[in-house]
Structures are given as structure tokens and as C-alpha cells.
Amino acid sequence: MPEEITSKEIPGTMETVGVLIFNETNDKALLVKHTKAAQNEEGIYGIPAGQIEIALSESPKEATLRELMEETGLVAREEDLEQFENNFFGTSIIRTKTGELKPAHMRVYHCKAYEGELRNDRKTIPEWVEIDTINKWAEEDKDKELWEKKKLMPNVDIAIHNYLESQKTKT
């Protein structure tokens, strides 16, 4: 799969990356809960993720590793990141805590190896969350309007589903 940054569909679209990490039995995923200091709504869960620093010529994998370290305290290498089928999400609308709507693209990687201990950041609290709980939250969020407070950031449940499905086809 290409490692390029896609062209923007909507002016001002944020180019973002995220990373999936699972426990050994793939029944829990590492999510981050956003704090009051984050740009996102306080209490909303997402995968470790953020913007690519295009002005600094940061590659998608470099941005992924930076975000992983900043939001969780975990360290990985570029070779620990792998793409999977259906890991790119076109324009989604992210609502910030100020109510601003921002269009964003996201490329999600799976991290197969990492080092370090989880630690809180002033903007995020990393937590292992059961896949069943994530699916329940996603189902509850489907019934909410765009402006209503949700439990999950856009596409978290879909990225997890897509990764787990891609692993079934490998066996």
C-alpha cells in the first residue's frame, strides 16, 4: 500500500494518522480518553491519533510514532507499523469541544510491537478497553445527532473491525 499523503477533498481537510494496538488475545484495544486539555470533547475515546506535520515534512509513519509516544508513552519503530485492508478513511467530520466541525482524512496503522509503560498525558489517558464495550459504545453513538456528545471518535469501531477482519483472511 502506498505511503503517500492523499490530496485534500475539502479545503482545510486535516491529514491525520492513528494507531491500533491490541492485547495478546485481540479482545481489548488501546484507546485514549480525551481530557479537558484536549481539542476534542472531554471524555470522548479515540485511538492514539493526530495530525501529520506536513510543514515539517513528517511522513505518516513518523507522525503515527510521535502520536503514539505523546498520547500513551509507548515507543515503537516504523517497521512495527503495518497497514491493513481498508485502513484509510476519507473525509470524516470531527467535532471539537468548541463545537467547530473539521473535515479530516485518517490512515490507521496496526502496531505489532512496542516498548514502554502506559502513562497519562495532560490531553489523554490511555486505557485498555474490551472490544465488546467499544462495539456497545458505537451502537449507542449511532442514535445520536452530530452535535450530541458521543463516546467514540469517528471510525474507531470501524478501524478495529477492519483490522480484525483482515486478520481472519490471513489464517
Tens of pLDDT along 100-159?
Answer: 777 888 999 999 999 999 999 999 999 999 999 999 999 999 888 766 788 998 899 999
Predicted structure pTM score? 0.88
Quick check: 9 pLDDT over 60?
Answer: no
pLDDT tens track for 34-73 = 999 998 889 999 999 999 998 889 999 999 999 999 999 9
User: Architecture of 14-168 per CATH?
Assistant: Alpha-Beta Complex (3.90)
pLDDT at 34: 95
pLDDT at 1: 45
Tell the residue number behind the cell numbers 491529514, with chain if given.
15
pLDDT tens track for 88-112 = 987 666 667 777 777 888 999 999 9
Distance in angstroms (rounded) separating the CA atoms of residues 164 and 135: 13
Quick check: 2 pLDDT over 80?
Answer: no
Quick check: 161 pLDDT over 70?
Answer: yes
Q: Which amino acid is at 46?
A: G
pLDDT at 146: 66
Q: With CA atoms as reference, report the closest residue to 50 among 72, 81, 18, 87.
A: 18
| Among 5-9, 75-79, 104-108, the range of highest mean pLDDT | 75-79
CB 141 within 8 A of CB 150: yes
Q: Which H or E element spans position 157?
A: helix 156-168
Measure CA 75 to chain center.
16
For residue 53 the three cell numbers come to 506535520
Residue 7's pLDDT band (cuts 50, 70, 90): very low
The residues that bridge with 34 in the sheet, in sequence order, are 124
DSSP characters over 61-123 = HHHHHHHHHHHH--B--GGGEE--TT-EEEEEEEEBTTS-EEEEEEEEEEE---BS-----SS
